[in-house]
């Protein structure tokens, strides 16, 4: 897109917003400090690099077989660097344990340590990407339907050991990057059919978590993620929303909100203010559920817009961490990274541009019509001119120009895999 046009549009937008008391230059600065944590698993459909790799399990599924997925660590790194060249700003990388640099060796989940992530730590430094981390309790012969909540102490202990080791790795990552590494715990544990032992498994999960979190760390932060159900585990989920919200509130742990992990008519945006009164921080897994937790590519839809608006309205920008979590194997995977990341950024940009002072003034004075009218008008204000300027300032393709970039990389790189 022509630079002149972008600048001109921005100047007009600046004036329009100024008339409503919104400073677009300040929003550009805020956008620069808004970091996404890009999920490494979009590049290879959650496969990872274990030599002994098993099938994806745990009730999650990547569907589609679009050609060109990353087959090894070098390809995955190249793809992430390519994706990030089309996303303005600086971002983090969210790694799962199965993405370790195992150098062709069989390393079981209870044997992993920081040496397997040393090359990632260096790569992160070189590429200006701070790392976040996740335990991986699915896709393993010991995963079954129950991991941390398994009544079999041997299996439970195996996953406790895995999770403890992951925390130690996250601590080392955090120390090396001079910024806490956020480590997420999500386990698939549940049951396909009616269970008559709900309490027992939840008690096991609670005790396992207590053991895992016993060590205090300074350079990593824990977060815990609930969900409604997984495929094949429809009747019962050990780590439900109530379970983790209560655990987080009692133990001062960050709660992860995956936007696909609630009942379809439930507003995830509405949870932000309640949770932030009781838990220290939130981690987001921004996704797009279509009929179920389908992990479609994030787009700028109403739930996503509402969620980011709510964070801004709660003045909670620095108490929320912004992870993405989708895995679509049916379209160009690098393109999927860019679409979802830019959709999250655009949602945030629009949220930051909301004429909040004016809206709150109306609300305080019981001026319901005026509040609703301005909310409607704000939707069509030229927020896109501000986002385009943000892209221009960061030297990344503006508007739909990134489509050609993705196509070029496909022609030259991914189609040859």
CA–CA separation, 10 and 72 (whole Å): 42
Binding status of residue 285 toward Zn ion by CB under 5 A: yes
Q: Which does residue 41 touch among Zn ion, ligand RNT, none (CB within 5 to 8 A, set by kind)? A: ligand RNT
According to the binding rule CB under 5 A, does residue 293 interact with Zn ion? no
Q: Which is nearer to ligand RNT, 183 or 279 (CB)?
A: 183
* 14 vs 333 by CB, closer to Zn ion: 333
Interface with ligand RNT in residues 311-330 (CB under 6 A)? 325
Would you say 159 or 383 has its CB closer to Zn ion? 159
Q: Which of 41, 159, 186, 383 is catalytic?
A: 186
Annotated active-site residue 227? The verdict is yes
Number of residues that bind ligand RNT (CB under 6 A): 11
79 touches ligand RNT by CB under 6 A: no
- The alpha carbon torsion through 291, 226, 243, 218 (nearest 10 deg) reads -160
Question: Is residue 328 within the footprint of Zn ion (CB under 5 A)?
Answer: no
Active site (annotated) includes residue 25: no
Which residue from 82, 206, 227, 350 is in contact with ligand RNT, where contact means CB under 6 A? 227
Q: Which two tokens stand for residue 237?
A: 């989920």
Out of 50, 293, 310, 328, the active site residue is 293
Smaller CB separation from Zn ion, 285 or 350:
285
Does residue 97 interact with ligand RNT by CB under 6 A?
no
| 41 close to 96: Cβ distance less than 8 angstroms | yes
Among 132, 222, 258, 310, indicate the residue that binds ligand RNT (CB under 6 A): 258
Residues of this chain, 323-382, that bind ligand RNT according to CB under 6 A: 325
Does 50 interact with ligand RNT (rule: CB under 6 A)?
A: no
Q: Tokens 């921004």, residue? A: 286
Q: Under the criterion CB under 6 A, does residue 60 sit at the interface with ligand RNT? A: yes
Shortest Cβ distance from residue 129 to ligand RNT (Å)? Answer: 18
Of the candidates 275, 103, 256, the one whose C-alpha atom is nearest the C-alpha of residue 182 is 256
Q: If binding is defined by CB under 5 A, does position 325 make contact with Zn ion? A: yes
206 assigned to active site: no
DSSP state of 180: P
Residues 6+ apart with CB under 8 A from 154: none
Does 189 contact ligand RNT by CB under 6 A? no
The tokens 């049951």 sit on which residue? Answer: 191
| 185 vs 209 by CB, closer to Zn ion | 185
d(CA 323, CA 253): 17
Is residue 47 involved in binding ligand RNT (CB under 6 A)?
no
Q: For ligand RNT, give the closer residue by CB, 133 or 158.
A: 133
Output the DSSP codes for 67-121: S----SHHHHHHHHHHHHTTS-S--EEEEEGGGS--TT----TTT--GGGGHHHH
Residue 261 among the catalytic residues: yes
CA distance 286 to 259: 6
Could you give the CA distance from residue 164 to residue 97 in angstroms, rounded to a whole number?
12
Report the residue number, 257 or 386, with the smaller CB distance to ligand RNT.
257
Told to judge if 285 belongs to the known catalytic residues of this protein, a careful annotator would answer yes
CA dist., res. 335 & res. 326, Å (int): 13
Cα atoms in the 13 Å half-sphere on the side-chain side of 316: 25
Cβ atoms 288, 328 nearer than 8 A: no
In the list Zn ion, ligand RNT, none, the entry touching 227 (Cβ below 5 to 8 angstroms by class) is ligand RNT
Distance CA 260, CA 167 (A): 25
Phi, psi of 57, deg, nearest 5: -140, -170
Q: Does the annotation count 292 as an active-site position?
A: no
Using CA atoms, how far residue 117 sits from 70, 146, 176, in Å, is: 18, 27, 11
Pick left, alpha or beta for residue 194 (phi over 0 → left; psi -120 to 50 → alpha; otherwise beta). Answer: beta
Cβ proximity to ligand RNT: between 79 and 410 the closer is 79
> Cβ neighbours of residue 207 under 8 Å, at least 6 residues apart?
none
To the nearest whole angstrom, how small is the minimum distance from the Cβ of residue 225 to Zn ion? 6
- Measured CA angle at 387 (ends 386, 392), to 5 deg: 95
Binding mask 119-158 for ligand RNT (x = CB under 6 A): ---------------x------------------------
Q: Does 162 bind ligand RNT (CB under 6 A)?
A: no
186 part of the active site? yes
Annotated active-site positions, please? Answer: 186, 225, 227, 258, 261, 285, 293, 295, 325
- Report the interface residues with Zn ion, using CB under 5 A: 258, 285, 325
- Report the interface residues with ligand RNT, using CB under 6 A: 41, 46, 60, 134, 186, 225, 227, 258, 285, 293, 325
């Amino acid at each position: 897109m022509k630079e002149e046009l972008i600048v001109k549009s921005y100047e007009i937008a600046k004036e329009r917003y100024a008339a409503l008391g919104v400073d677009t230059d300040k929003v550009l600065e805020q956008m620069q400090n808004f970091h996404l944590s890009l999920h490494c698993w979009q590049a290879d459909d959650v496969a990872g690099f274990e030599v002994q790799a098993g099938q994806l399990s745990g009730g999650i599924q990547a569907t589609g077989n679009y050609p060109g997925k990353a087959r090894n660590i070098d390809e995955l790194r190249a793809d992430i660097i390519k994706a990030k060249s089309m996303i303005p700003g600086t971002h983090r990388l969210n790694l799962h344990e199965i993405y370790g640099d195992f150098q062709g060796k069989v390393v079981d989940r209870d044997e992993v340590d920081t040496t397997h992530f040393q090359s990632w730590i260096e790569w992160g430094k070189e590429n200006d990407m701070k790392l976040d981390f996740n335990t991986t309790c699915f896709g393993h012969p010991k995963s079954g339907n129950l991991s941390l909540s398994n009544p079999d102490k041997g299996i439970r202990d195996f996953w406790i050991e895995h999770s403890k080791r992951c925390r130690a790795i996250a601590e080392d990552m955090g120390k090396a990057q001079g910024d806490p590494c956020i480590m997420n715990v999500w386990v698939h544990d549940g049951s396909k059919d009616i269970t008559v032992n709900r309490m027992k498994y939840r008690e096991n999960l609670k005790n396992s978590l207590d053991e895992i979190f016993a060590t205090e760390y300074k350079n990593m932060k824990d977060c815990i993620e609930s969900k409604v159900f997984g495929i094949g585990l429809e009747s019962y989920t050990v780590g439900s929303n109530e379970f983790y919200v209560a655990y987080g509130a009692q133990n001062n742990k960050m709660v992860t909100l995956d936007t696909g992990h609630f009942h379809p008519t439930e507003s995830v945006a509405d949870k932000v203010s309640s949770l932030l009164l009781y838990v220290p921080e939130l981690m987001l897994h921004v996704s797009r559920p279509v009929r179920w937790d389908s992990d479609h590519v994030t787009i700028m839809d109403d739930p996503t817009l509402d969620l980011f608006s709510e964070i801004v309205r709660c003045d909670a920008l620095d108490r929320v961490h912004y992870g993405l979590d989708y895995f679509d194997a049916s379209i160009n995977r690098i393109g999927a990274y860019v679409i979802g990341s830019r959709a999250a950024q655009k949602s945030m940009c629009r949220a930051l541009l909301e004429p909040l002072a004016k809206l709150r003034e109306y609300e305080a004075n019981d001026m319901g019509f005026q509040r609703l009218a301005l909310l409607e008008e704000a939707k069509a204000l030229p927020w896109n001119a501000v986002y385009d300027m943000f892209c221009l300032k960061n030297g990344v393709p503006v508007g739909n120009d990134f489509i050609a970039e993705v196509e070029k990389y496909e022609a030259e790189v991914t189609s040859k895999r």
